[in-house]
Structures are given as structure tokens and as C-alpha cells.
DNA sequence: ATGCCTTTGAAGCGT
DNA sequence: ACGCTTCAAAGGCAT
């Protein structure tokens, strides 16, 4: 579990203030990080200048394709450097910046220099745009380097940065808030900030595909188009993939998001105007905002097509307007944030890759978090909603509501099939989605798997920071790992059933633990519901009574974790 | 190429 | 007010 800011989270409301380091060692570490970041910027500048100088004579085709840095580019660099100096100075003063966006979370974001999308104006495709400069108070899990076995440095020392996610999978706010530190750790300078210089050309060489981080999901064809690491300073020319929109896109101030004093700028930058007036998610400044998924770049399936219903009801201009309207996604809720952060960890620990299975695991782990742990995510989610509403004042979840389903309906229901018919036809039985040989984290792995065995047995169902209305079970002394919001209809036996419907193969998983145990579960392997169905559906049987008895007994002494899926 | 699966939580919608 | 539905992320898998 990452420790956010010492685990306190109480200073979330603070804004751009200095946070004392926990100890001198930490401070030194952070300072050295920034020193090296600053040094890296110098390197970058050198390479920039070198490139500029060599460009005319270089025979390197890559270099030829690249435009020469302009005065503006260099100015931008200087500004960025200025910021780094300031950051460094403040660190040396004994603190570090908080994010202007999430002031409670001390990390700096710098533009991802190696992000091909950054220089392209196609940020809205979802490329992670900013690099996390540091997240000093988070413990960095060993998975940092897990995804890149080619790393020359150990995972915990490497600076793998999850800069780019799959474009269509990035959360709008991800560039502003990096929730996960999984792939980032302090220490060595980021590769993209200290680009390897090609001895021939004197310019940073394009990384070999095998050296590319797996977080750069570039297609083989795209690899050759990887832009200059200083893409934000050196826009690519003649590259349709990263084409610069009319008006040009030169990132004017990459360090913008880092600078506390610029938070006002940031807010103006990400004003809603860009939403309505910049179909390509470009602000007046020319900065595309990744929070917006421009339909021109990323379209939800069929979004661009006119539905029959729309055809009949909406006049063309409205449709056109709607088409152009960028798709602003919902802010992530606490669990989504948790998933985002923990997914890689779970994937690394298990052999699982299927998200559905991973999500089941994460769901269980979420329930096993302590109240304090969950509170962090609720608070983050709250902040995110807050930020989202600031960025998009006029936005409502309604904007996206029904879009997907409507599209689905339009596609699958052209003949006017009734809604009920459609629904029933498309419902799938609720089954345990877990490959049998991959039960890495069933509540039962329990045989000591660390995955689902929180140090603190589930005490908390909800966070104090969570909306009270949705977490009425806070006061319960024991965790039944039921869903909040009263989704579990059996408070004592916690047979929560999903409305999805019948399934003969639903499973019941039971986990019972003892306080303080690292692997507290006595029985937590999912039990095929078919084997329990009878017992469950009939009035108190021996099983039922035994279970209830166990539960009541445990109520007195032991925490109980019970996750069920029922078949009704 | 597209949608499903699976999770929780927030918010919209309908009654 | 309440309950149901949709969407947010993720990526393998099925169609």
C-alpha cells in the first residue's frame, strides 16, 4: 500500500505549501533527484543545441525529419529550467512542491519528453502527458521494474515512468494526477531526460524498439516515428501520426503543471472554453488537454455515425455540434483510482492478465483495506471530482449517460426490438470469472498469499471521507466484505446478489479470519454455487445453521470476511 | 473490429 | 426518496 504523504492525508486541503521531509535522508534524496533532473535538463538543452547545430549537415534521416528548435523552443526550455531551479531551491529550503492540482500529494509533473503524443497535438488521444517527477512519500513497490526486464538498473532504482498508457485507456486527469507510483522511483535520471546521444549525429538517438518501455504501446510501424525526446520542444514535421494542428502546437511551458505559482494559469488553461471552442482539445495556448477525448481522434464506437433516431429527431447542425463535442469522461471514483494503482501490482503478482479476473481480486482487496487506506482513495476521488468540476464546470455525467447503450441499441436493435427483449438477450449469466488455474487471489489464496491478506483484517467498509450516505455500514464492528450502499441484502449472512440475474454457476466465497493474522482465512476459496445452492435456497439447513452459528460465534471474537455471489 | 467480462462508486433517470 | 441503470478503467477473450 502506498503511503500517501505519510499516510496522513490530513493536509489534502493545503495548497502549494512546503511539506517538511520526514527526515534529512529523505530530503537529501529528493534534492538529489531534482538536482539530477535539473542536470538532465541541461543535458537535454545541450542535445537540443547540438542537434540544431548538426542538423544541417547530418545525414541522419531522423534528424532531417526533425525541425530545428526555434527560439521559442529554447525560451520554453529556459522557462522549464527556471522552474526546476525554483523547485530545487524550495527543496533545499526543506520542502517540496505539492501539485497545484492535488496540493495534498507531493509530486511534480513534467512533460513526458518522450511521449510521442505530446508534441503532436493529439494529446487527447490519451497519452499520459506528464511525468511524475517524484512521489517521495510513497513506498515504491518492487513492481517498478517488473514490466521491463530489460532495465539495466534494478526495478527499485530504475526510473521507469508510466508515461504513456494505451491512448484510449487513459483517464482524462491522469496527466495531471499520477495515481500510481508503481513504475516510478527516484534515483537514476529518467532515460528520456538523459537521452543517449548518438555518437554519429550528436543527437539523442531513437530508442530501439526493444528498449522502449512497455508503456509505450507503439505499433511497429510507429516505432520509426518516435519523435525526438524533446518532442515538446521540437515538434515533428511531416509526420501525420503526430500532426500539428492548424495554428501549430508548441508546448509553451512544459513545467506549467508543476509550478504552484502558476496554478491560476493552469486553471485558465484548462478552462471549459477549450471544451466548447476547441474541437481538437486545444486550448487557446495550443495545448491540447488530455482530459478531453476528441471525437476526431478518439471516437467511441459509432460515435461519429448518425443513429436512426438521431437522424429523425436532430437537425444536422446539432448532430455536427455533438460530433465535435469532445468526450469528457467521468472522474474516477475511489475504487477506480485504487484499481488503477493496484492493477499492475496484482498483474505482477499473479499470472493473471484478464481484467475481469483482476478486478475481482481488486474488489476483494478493496474490501480488505482498512478504513484509513480506503479513505485515501475516497479523498483522492473527491479531489478528482472537484478538479473535474473546475475543469469542466458545465459538464455533467448526463453528457455521457446512455451514449454507450444508445449506440449499442442503435446497432443491435435496428428493427425496433423491445427493450426487454434486448436486455434479456444481452444478459449473460453471472458467473465466477476466474480461470480455475489462476485463482491467484481468491479470498482463499489465503494459504498465505499476500495478495488478499491485509495486515489489518477488514475493519473498514468505508471511508470517513466517503459520502456517508453510501456507507451505512461504517459502524459495523466486523467486515462482512459486503458492498456498501446496502447492496448486500443480508446483513448477517451477506448474500449479496447482483441484479444481473440467474446463474447456475455463481459462486460463493467465504473467508473467515482471525484478528491480526496475515492469512486469516479459514475458508475463503470460492465455492461453486451449484454445490451450495440447495443449502442456500432452502430454509435453515445444517449448513445454513452451521454457517450462521459460525458467524455469530465469530461476531464475538473474529472478523469475518464473506464475499458471495448468489444465483438469484 | 467490437463488445463482453468484472469490480465499486458516483450520478442520472424513472417511479 | 428509492431503486435501477450507466459509466468510469483495464485487457484478454469471444464473436
CB A35 within 8 A of CB A92: no
A394 touches strand B (CB under 7 A): no
The Cα A437–Cα A319 span in angstroms is 49
A431 touches strand B (CB under 7 A): yes
Element (H, E) at A512: strand A507-512
Angstrom distances, CA of residue A339 to CA of A7, A183, A496? 19, 15, 21
**What is the mean predicted confidence (pLDDT) over A440-447?**
40
Give domain limits for chain A. 4-202+213-298, 476-481+496-568
- Nearest CA to the C1' of C13 belongs to which residue? A354
Q: Is A110 helix (H, G, I), strand (E, B) or coil?
A: strand
The pLDDT tens digits of the residues spanning A122-160 come to 333 333 333 333 332 233 333 333 333 333 333 333 333
Q: Is A347 helix (H, G, I), strand (E, B) or coil?
A: helix
Angstrom distances, CA of residue A330 to CA of A233, A257, A292, A327? 31, 21, 11, 9
What region does A273 belong to: left with phi over 0, alpha with psi -120 to 50, or beta? alpha
- The counts of H helices and E strands in chain A are 15, 7
Is pLDDT at A345 greater than 60 in this prediction?
A: yes
The pLDDT tens digits of the residues spanning A10-68 come to 333 333 323 333 333 433 343 344 434 434 444 444 444 343 334 333 333 333 343 44
What are the grid coordinates assigned to A92, written together? 533545499
Helices assigned H by DSSP within A24-133: 24-55, 61-65, 71-92
A80 touches strand B (CB under 7 A): no
Q: Which of A69-73, A236-240, A359-363, A386-390 has the lowest mean pLDDT?
A: A236-240
Give me the pLDDT at residue A243, please: 31
A335 touches strand B (CB under 7 A): yes
The Cα A472–Cα A489 span in angstroms is 13
Q: In sequence order, what are the beta bridge partners of A562?
A: A510
Give me the pLDDT at residue A388, please: 92
CB A444 within 8 A of CB A524: yes
Is pLDDT at A354 greater than 80 in this prediction?
A: yes
What are the grid coordinates assigned to A193, written together? 531526460
Gap between the terminal Cα atoms of chain A:
35
Strands, E assignment, A412-513: 507-512
- What does the longest C-alpha to C-alpha distance in chain A come to? 87
Q: Is A564 helix (H, G, I), strand (E, B) or coil?
A: strand
CB A179 within 8 A of CB A99: no
CB A304 within 8 A of CB A293: no
The pLDDT tens digits of the residues spanning A379-426 come to 999 999 999 998 898 898 888 887 776 555 555 444 444 433 433 333
What are the grid coordinates assigned to A474, written together? 461504517
Residue of A564, A454, A556 whose CA lies nearest to A511: A564
d(CA A490, C1' B15) / Å: 25
d(CA A437, C1' B1) / Å: 30
The Cα A81–Cα A87 span in angstroms is 10
A314 touches strand B (CB under 7 A): no
Give me the pLDDT at residue A406, please: 57
Around Cβ A460, how many Cβ atoms within 10 Å?
23
CB A25 within 8 A of CB A106: no
A63 touches strand B (CB under 7 A): no
User: Which nucleotides of strand B come closer than 7 angstroms to any CB of the protein?
Assistant: 1-13
d(CA A487, C1' C4) / Å: 12
A438 touches strand B (CB under 7 A): no
A88 touches strand B (CB under 7 A): no
The pLDDT tens digits of the residues spanning A474-518 come to 333 233 333 333 333 333 333 333 333 333 333 333 333 333 333
User: Who wins on pLDDT, A87 or A120?
Assistant: A87
Amino acid at each position: 500500500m502506498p503511503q500517501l504523504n505519510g499516510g496522513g492525508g490530513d493536509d489534502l486541503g493545503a495548497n502549494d505549501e512546503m511539506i517538511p521531509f520526514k527526515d534529512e535522508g529523505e530530503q537529501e534524496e529528493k534534492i538529489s533527484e531534482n538536482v539530477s533532473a535539473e542536470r538532465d535538463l541541461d543535458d537535454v538543452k545541450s542535445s537540443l543545441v547540438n542537434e540544431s547545430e548538426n542538423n544541417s549537415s547530418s545525414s541522419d534521416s531522423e534528424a532531417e525529419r526533425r525541425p530545428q528548435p526555434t527560439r521559442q523552443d529554447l525560451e520554453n526550455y529556459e522557462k522549464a529550467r527556471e522552474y526546476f531551479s525554483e523547485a530545487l531551491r524550495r527543496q533545499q529550503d526543506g520542502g517540496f512542491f505539492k501539485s497545484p492540482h492535488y496540493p495534498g500529494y507531493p509530486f511534480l509533473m513534467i512533460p513526458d519528453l518522450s511521449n510521442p503524443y505530446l508534441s503532436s497535438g493529439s494529446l487527447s488521444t490519451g497519452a499520459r502527458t506528464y511525468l511524475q517527477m517524484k512521489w517521495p512519500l510513497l513506498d515504491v513497490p518492487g513492481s517498478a521494474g517488473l514490466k521491463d526486464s530489460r532495465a539495466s538498473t534494478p526495478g527499485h532504482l530504475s526510473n521507469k515512468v508510466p508515461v504513456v498508457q494505451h491512448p484510449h485507456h487513459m483517464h482524462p486527469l491522469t496527466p495531471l494526477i499520477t495515481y500510481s507510483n508503481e513504475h516510478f522511483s527516484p534515483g537514476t535520471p529518467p532515460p528520456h531526460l538523459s537521452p543517449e546521444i548518438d555518437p554519429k549525429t550528436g543527437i539523442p538517438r531513437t530508442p530501439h524498439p526493444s528498449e522502449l518501455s512497455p508503456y509505450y504501446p507503439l505499433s511497429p510501424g510507429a516505432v520509426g516515428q518516435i519523435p525526438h525526446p524533446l518532442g515538446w520542444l521540437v515538434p515533428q514535421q511531416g509526420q501525420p501520426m503526430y500532426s500539428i494542428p492548424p495554428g501549430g502546437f508548441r508546448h509553451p511551458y512544459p513545467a506549467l503543471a508543476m509550478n504552484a505559482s502558476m496554478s491560476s494559469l493552469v486553471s485558465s488553461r484548462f478552462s471549459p472554453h477549450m471544451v466548447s471552442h476547441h474541437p481538437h482539445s486545444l486550448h487557446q495556448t495550443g495545448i491540447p488537454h488530455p482530459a478531453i477525448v476528441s471525437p476526431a481522434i478518439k471516437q467511441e464506437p459509432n460515435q461519429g455515425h448518425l443513429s436512426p433516431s438521431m437522424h429523425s429527431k436532430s437537425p444536422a447542425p446539432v448532430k455536427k455540434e455533438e460530433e465535435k463535442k469532445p468526450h469528457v469522461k467521468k472522474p474516477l471514483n475511489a475504487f477506480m483510482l485504487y484499481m488503477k494503482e493496484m492493477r499492475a501490482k496484482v498483474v505482477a503478482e499473479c499470472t493473471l492478465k484478464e481484467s475481469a479476473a483482476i478486478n475481482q481480486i481488486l474488489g476483494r482487496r478493496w474490501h480488505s483495506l482498512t478504513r484509513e487506506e480506503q479513505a485515501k482513495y475516497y479523498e483522492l476521488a473527491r479531489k478528482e471530482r472537484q478538479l473535474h468540476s473546475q475543469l469542466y464546470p458545465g459538464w455533467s455525467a448526463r453528457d455521457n449517460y446512455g451514449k454507450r447503450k444508445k449506440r449499442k441499441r442503435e446497432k443491435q436493435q435496428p428493427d425496433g426490438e423491445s427493450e426487454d427483449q434486448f436486455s434479456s438477450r444481452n444478459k449473460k449469466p453471472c458467473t465466477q470469472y476466474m480461470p480455475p488455474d489462476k485463482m491467484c487471489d481468491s479470498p482463499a489464496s489465503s494459504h498465505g498469499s499476500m495478495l488478499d491478506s491485509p495486515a489489518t483484517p477488514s475493519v473498514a467498509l468505508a471511508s470517513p471521507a466517503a459520502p456517508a450516505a453510501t456507507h451505512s455500514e461504517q459502524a459495523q464492528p466486523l467486515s462482512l466484505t459486503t458492498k456498501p450502499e446496502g447492496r448486500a441484502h443480508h446483513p448477517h449472512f451477506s448474500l449479496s446478489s447482483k441484479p444481473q440475474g440467474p446463474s447456475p454457476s455463481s459462486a460463493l466465497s467465504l473467508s473467515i479470519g482471525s484478528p491480526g493474522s496475515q492469512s486469516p482465512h479459514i475458508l475463503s476459496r470460492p465455492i461453486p454455487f451449484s454445490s451450495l445452492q440447495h443449502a442456500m435456497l432452502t430454509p435453515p439447513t445444517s449448513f445454513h445453521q452451521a454457517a450462521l452459528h459460525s458467524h455469530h460465534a465469530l461476531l464475538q471474537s473474529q472478523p469475518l470476511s464473506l464475499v458471495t455471489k448468489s444465483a438469484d
